[in-house]
Amino acid sequence: MSATVLTEIVAPGVIQITMNRPERKNALDRASYVGLIEAFAAAEADPQSRVIVITGAGGCFTSGNDIRDFAAAAGDGARIAMDFLGAISTATKPIVAAVEGFAVGIGTTMLLHCDLAYAGAGATFRMPFVTLGLSPEGASSYLLPLVAGSKRAAELLMLGEAFGPQAAQEAGLVNAVVAEGAALDAALANAKALAALPPQSVALTKLLLKRGQAASVAETLVVEAKHFGERLRSDEAQAAFAAFLKR
Ligand code: COA
């Protein structure tokens, strides 16, 4: 298991996956994506694991894709993120997210694939794809209008400004806002409740809830990834990455 992704059985049937690169606000580099993909695959394959909790270390969810990897943008730069999104969007076991601190880029869009999500009162969300010269990913161009409404989705994805946990709840990205530092407790309480329910019934309910969107989500991920890969190499994006790295 990668050092930048930790997995731990935290309660009977509950596996916690922690993004663990606090010195970079848990930015997801290639090794982190590999670790996440392996952790999700292991949780899916383990009959003892019933519910997956995803969180970040050091009071931060994740600052999104590592901008250095974005700047390199060569070859399969975006491919590994796509593999992670494929894994999280097709997981059969319930996923519960606990968000504290920053949830940027894929840190926000991955919440669209979690079944439940809880945010601490100090959490900040942002999808700065346009700001960075990029385009939406994570099937957000399809799922965000569904959960947030088209005007709100346009605001969040086009203007790309930061927003707080109340706005995230109003946009359908999180179930509830809890006290700062209490998101993991809220996520674990609900994960334990889910793990105590009949697992086949839980799995079937998840399948039925996702069924109507599954084909469109898969298709959107592919279309978005094609544009995103092209945008990564664009002058607009490369200038934005250079500006961030020069700060
Ligand atoms: N990729 C690479 N490095 C990142 C990073 C990212 N996505 N996010 C943070 N870091 C690094 C910073 O460069 C900094 O490194 P340094 O200590 O060597 O200077 C360190 O992590 C701490 O981040 P810092 O910016 O000092 O923390 P902050 O609390 O002031 O701000 C953020 C946090 C998340 C708001 C800010 O780091 C940020 O905007 N990051 C980029 C987010 C982003 O655009 N992600 C891509 C989305 S598509």
Q: What CATH number does residue 12 fall under? A: 3.90.226.10
The confidence score (pLDDT) of residue 124 equals 99
Unique residue bearing structure tokens 């009959």: 47
The confidence score (pLDDT) of residue 189 equals 98
The confidence score (pLDDT) of residue 4 equals 97
pTM of the prediction? 0.98
Low-confidence ranges of the chain (pLDDT < 50): none
The binding-site residues of ligand 1, defined as CB within 6 angstroms of any ligand atom, are 24-25, 27, 63-68, 102, 104-105, 128-129, 132
Q: How far is the CA of 194 from the centre of ligand 1 (A)?
A: 34
| Test site for ligand 1: of 19, 23, 24, 25, most ligand atoms within 8 A of the Cβ | 25
| Test site for ligand 1: of 29, 63, 111, 140, most ligand atoms within 8 A of the Cβ | 63
Is the residue at 191 inside a domain?
Answer: no
Is the residue at 30 inside a domain?
Answer: yes
Is the residue at 228 inside a domain?
Answer: no
Is the residue at 93 inside a domain?
Answer: yes
The confidence score (pLDDT) of residue 76 equals 61
pLDDT tens digits for range 125-136: 999 999 999 999
Domain span holding position 20: 5-182
The confidence score (pLDDT) of residue 205 equals 98
Is the residue at 141 inside a domain?
Answer: yes
Q: How far is the CA of 63 from the centre of ligand 1 (A)?
A: 6
Is the residue at 115 inside a domain?
Answer: yes
Total structural domains within the chain: 1
200-213 burial code (b ≥16 CB/10 A, e <16): eebeeebeeebeeb
Is the residue at 215 inside a domain?
Answer: no
Instruction: Please work out, in degrees rounded to the nearest 5, the angle formed at the alpha carbon of residue 98 by the alpha carbons of 129 and 145.
Output: 40
Rounded CA separation 3/5 (Å): 5
Q: Concatenated DSSP letters for 100-153?
A: -SEEETHHHHGGGG-SEEEEETT-EEE--TTTTT----TTHHHHHHHHH-HHHH
Is the residue at 71 inside a domain?
Answer: yes
Q: How far is the CA of 65 from the centre of ligand 1 (A)?
A: 10
Q: How far is the CA of 224 from the centre of ligand 1 (A)?
A: 24
**Pairing status of strand 102-104 against strand 95-99:** unpaired
